[in-house]
């Protein structure tokens, strides 16, 4: 049986290999911090296995997470000059490979879908081939591995270090932001352990009359959008609103379908992202790149769509999630 | 009630644009302490929830293959394809087509082939502008119209990305939902189910934004007529002023094109018609 932990080890190993490359990357002015950040993250991926099994203590991992937060938070990570192709070389290569470039990219979702749909039919001696409950994640991992093989074959690339370097370039340009979603998930768990959810639920229940489905859905979706506009980030709004309304009221109290409520709730948050200058990378950076006089031009173009779509999201949850 | 201050830390931290990692770290520690967890328990919670939410970060596994494709011209190939599509379309139709393309490619995990720097600036905005210029008989666009076209090019890219990528199961937001719920509420959600639930909103987004883009053509047409008429009036004024000064008509304002003069009269009449329609 292929276990999901094996896949987490693979991800950890990729982080470690990239960290090893970073150690020797002289073009990166913050070389030690960058290598330490990704190397430590890779090690955490391995150590976590035994934390989940409860055979090793979780506290050292907590310390490591705080170290990661400090390395990223105090700007000790940076990026090197990626060893890659120039714009004109890429244009030439694109002309040479043409549509074949899309084949490896499409391999990933294809294999992930196949694994998710067919997983329970694959069995060897009675045990399922893929660990139960992790089919999608394992499918993604298998898809990425197969896609890499296909890509190297299609592009006639023999050296494994080339995609590893190219991936590291992307990793470094995303930087610590790549870890933010996971840390927000961690924060959600701390909120729960500290009793934030219970407190917010009390507040919500005193505000919301019992069994008011529509009011609760509106509160959840509009709350997601408003919090996102204030914070500039739907990911940050999500743990707060889900602890307050989404989980206790919509899912537990009103028996909503968790996948529907939470997926559409996140998209309601995206409607907020479309309207806020706080989400600078999506709304202000394009205005600067396009040399617009009115830096709110893109937001103005997006607001009507966001408003109508927020209404759609409310209706989708209200009509289909219960 | 006092633990709610932890939520306030998050809101204030993000709203004042502190480093998000530090905000999360500080908010976690503060909330834990306010919730009467001991420092060791806080560390333990950090560790345990990190271990059970690793699935959020696994999309990093796709970076090597995406990086390999990008260094071999993936974005350039995408631009070539879009270039083939957009040569005869109006601005609104071209942007609608791009919206669809952006949503579909993001939904199969190709979020990086578009974006303000990757595609909008080098490709989408210039092509959308060129399409409007064709409507304007090839003349440069008035500033207000140009700004509007460019803003819509950027907005279309963002809308397409946001409401396409969530249909892909290995995207940050989907994995955040499963990671958060699975580690916090001890249940099990599959990323695939969440991705499927993103499809209805994606379809709504296409029809809402696409519909607005198709209407954009008419708005642009109207604004062009008005702007040209205004330009013609200004130019006539300038010219009569110049003639009074006995100066050469060649000395004109910088952005006024010679052929605008001939269009002056129809432009003006079109504007008055427009005024009637609005009433």
Tell me: the pLDDT tens digits for B53-89?
A: 888 788 788 888 888 988 888 878 877 777 777 667 8
State how far residue B161 is from chain A, nearest Cα, in angstroms: 10
Neighbours of B230 (CB within 10 A): 14
Q: Would you list the domain boundaries of chain A? A: 87-157, 195-320
Comparing B200 with A288, the larger pLDDT belongs to B200
| Residue B236 forms part of a structural domain | no
| Residue B269 forms part of a structural domain | no
The answer to whether A108 and B109 are in contact (CB under 8 A) is: yes
Domain identity same for B94 and B145: yes
The total domain count for chain B is 2
pLDDT of res. A122: 75
pLDDT of res. B210: 95
pLDDT of res. B86: 62
Domain identity same for B81 and B165: yes
| Residue B227 forms part of a structural domain | no
Domain identity same for B36 and B124: no
pLDDT of res. B39: 92
Q: Is the pLDDT of residue A295 over 50?
A: yes
Which residue, of B220, B245, B274, is where some domain finishes? B220
DSSP-based three-state secondary structure for A16? helix
| Residue B42 forms part of a structural domain | yes
Domain identity same for B136 and B46: no
| Residue B135 forms part of a structural domain | yes
Question: Between residues 205 and 244 of chain A, which touch chain B (CB distance below 8 Å)?
Answer: 227, 230-236, 238-240, 242-243
Average pLDDT, chain B: 80
Query: In this structure, what are the phi and psi dihedrals at residue A292, rounded to the nearest 5 degrees?
Result: -80, 140
pLDDT of res. B245: 63
pTM over 0.90, yes/no: no
How far apart are the C-alpha atoms of A58 and A45, rounded to whole Å?
Answer: 13
Tell me which of A44-48, A205-209, B44-48, B73-77 is least confident.
A205-209
Q: Is the pLDDT of residue B224 over 50?
A: yes
- Classify residue A209 by its DSSP letter: P
Tell me which of A225-229, A304-308, B30-34, B107-111 is least confident.
B107-111
Q: Is the pLDDT of residue B204 over 90?
A: yes
Comparing A86 with B50, the larger pLDDT belongs to B50
User: Domain residues for B45?
Assistant: 2-52
Domain identity same for B71 and B40: no
pLDDT of res. A278: 77
Cα angle B78, B83, B85 (rounded to 5 degrees) comes to 100
Residues in chain B with CB shorter than 8 Å from the CB of A316 are 200-201, 204
| Residue B230 forms part of a structural domain | no
Residue A196 pLDDT class (50, 70, 90 cuts): confident
| Residue B120 forms part of a structural domain | yes
Three-state SS for chain B is CHHHHHHHHHHHHHHCCCCHHHHHHHHHHHHHHHCCCCHHHHHHHHHHHHHHCHHHHHHHHHHHHHHHHHHCCHHHHHHHHHHHHCCCCCHHHHHHHHHHHHHHHHHCCCHHHCCHHHHHHHHHHHHHHHHHHHHCCCCCCCHHHHHHHHHHHHHHHHHHHHHHHCCCCCCHHHHHHHHHHHHHCCCCCCHHHHHHHCHHHHHHHHHHHHHHHHHHHHHHHHHHHHHHHHHHHHHHHHHHHHHHCCCCCCCCCCCCCCCHHHHHHHHHHHHHHHHHHHC
Domain identity same for B46 and B164: no
Query: In this structure, what are the phi and psi dihedrals at residue A93, rounded to the nearest 5 degrees?
Result: -65, -40
- CB of B183 within 8 Å of any CB in chain A? yes
Question: Between residues 138 and 157 of chain A, which touch chain B (CB distance below 8 Å)?
Answer: 140-141, 144, 147-148, 151-152, 155, 157
Comparing A38 with B127, the larger pLDDT belongs to A38
Q: Is the pLDDT of residue A151 over 80?
A: yes
Tell me: the pLDDT tens digits for A238-287?
A: 888 888 888 888 898 888 899 999 999 999 999 999 998 877 778 888 88
| Residue B226 forms part of a structural domain | no
Tell me: the pLDDT tens digits for B112-146?
A: 777 887 778 877 888 888 888 888 887 888 888 99
How far apart are the C-alpha atoms of A161 and B31, rounded to whole Å?
Answer: 43
pLDDT of res. B180: 84
Return the structure tokens found at A88. Answer: 């004109």
**Within 13 Å of residue A151, how many CA atoms lie on the same side as its CB?**
32
Domain identity same for B102 and B154: yes
pLDDT of res. B256: 42
Question: Between residues 22 and 81 of chain A, which touch chain B (CB distance below 8 Å)?
Answer: 41, 44-45, 47-49, 51-52, 57-66, 68-70, 72-75
The residue of A183, A199, A251, A271 whose CB has the most chain B CBs within 10 angstroms, and thus the best one to mutate to test that interface, is A183
The answer to whether A174 and B38 are in contact (CB under 8 A) is: no
Residue A305's closest CA among B97, B210, B146, B166?
B210
Domain identity same for B12 and B125: no
């Amino acid at each position: 049986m292929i276990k999901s932990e094996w896949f987490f080890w693979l991800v950890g190993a990729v982080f470690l290999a990239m960290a090893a490359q970073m150690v020797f990357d002289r073009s990166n002015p913050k070389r030690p911090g960058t290598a330490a950040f990704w190397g430590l993250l890779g090690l955490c991926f391995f150590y976590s296995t035994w934390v989940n099994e409860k055979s090793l203590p979780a506290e050292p991992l907590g310390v490591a997470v705080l170290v990661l937060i400090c390395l990223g938070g105090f700007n000790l990570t940076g990026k090197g000059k990626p060893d890659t192709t120039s714009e004109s070389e890429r244009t030439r290569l694109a002309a040479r490979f043409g549509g074949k470039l899309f084949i490896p990219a499409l391999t990933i979702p294809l294999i992930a879908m196949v694994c998710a749909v067919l997983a329970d039919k694959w069995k060897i001696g009675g045990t399922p081939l893929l660990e139960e409950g992790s089919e999608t994640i394992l499918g993604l991992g298998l898809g990425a591995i197969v896609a890499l093989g296909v890509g190297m074959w299609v592009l006639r690339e023999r050296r494994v270090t080339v995609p590893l370097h190219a991936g590291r370039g992307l990793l470094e340009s995303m930087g610590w932001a790549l870890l933010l979603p996971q840390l927000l998930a961690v924060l959600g768990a701390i909120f729960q352990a500290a009793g934030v959810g219970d407190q917010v639920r009390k507040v919500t229940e005193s505000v919301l009359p019992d069994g008011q489905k529509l009011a609760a859905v509106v509160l959840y979706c509009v709350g997601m959008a408003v919090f996102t506009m204030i914070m500039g980030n739907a990911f940050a709004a999500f743990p707060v609103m889900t602890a307050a309304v989404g989980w206790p009221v919509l899912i537990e109290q009103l028996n909503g379908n968790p996948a529907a409520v939470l997926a559409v709730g996140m998209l309601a948050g995206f409607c907020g992202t479309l309207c806020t200058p706080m989400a600078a990378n999506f709304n202000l950076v394009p205005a600067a790149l396009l040399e617009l006089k009115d830096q709110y031009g893109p937001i103005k173009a997006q607001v009507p769509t966001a408003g109508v779509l927020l209404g759609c999201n409310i209706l989708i949850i209200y009509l289909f999630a219960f | 009630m006092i633990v709610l201050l932890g939520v306030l830390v998050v809101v204030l931290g993000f709203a004042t644009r502190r480093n998000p990692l530090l905000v999360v770290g500080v908010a976690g520690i503060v909330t834990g302490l306010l919730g009467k967890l001991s420092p060791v328990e806080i560390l333990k919670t950090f560790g345990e929830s990190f271990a059970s939410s690793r699935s959020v970060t696994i999309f990093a596994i796709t970076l090597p293959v995406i990086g390999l494709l990008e260094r071999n011209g993936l974005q350039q190939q995408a631009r070539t394809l879009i270039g083939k599509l957009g040569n005869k379309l109006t601005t609104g139709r071209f942007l609608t087509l791009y919206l669809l393309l952006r949503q579909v490619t993001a939904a199969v995990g190709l979020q990086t082939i578009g974006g303000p720097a990757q595609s909008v600036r080098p490709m989408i905005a210039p092509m959308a502008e060129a399409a409007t210029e064709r409507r304007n008989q090839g003349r440069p666009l008035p500033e207000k119209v140009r700004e509007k076209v460019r803003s819509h090019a950027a907005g279309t890219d963002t809308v397409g990305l946001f409401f396409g990528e969530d249909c892909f199961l290995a995207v940050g937001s989907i994995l955040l939902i499963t990671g958060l719920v699975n580690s916090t509420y001890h249940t099990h959600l599959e990323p695939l189910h969440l991705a499927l639930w993103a499809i209805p909103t994606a379809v709504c987004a296409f029809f809402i934004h696409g519909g607005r883009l198709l209407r954009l053509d008419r708005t642009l047409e109207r604004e062009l007529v008005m702007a040209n008429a205004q330009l013609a009036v200004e130019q006539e004024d300038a010219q009569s002023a110049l003639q009074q000064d006995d100066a050469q008509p060649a000395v004109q304002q910088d952005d006024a094109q010679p052929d605008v003069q001939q269009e002056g009269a129809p432009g003006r009449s079109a504007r008055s018609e427009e005024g009637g329609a609005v009433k």
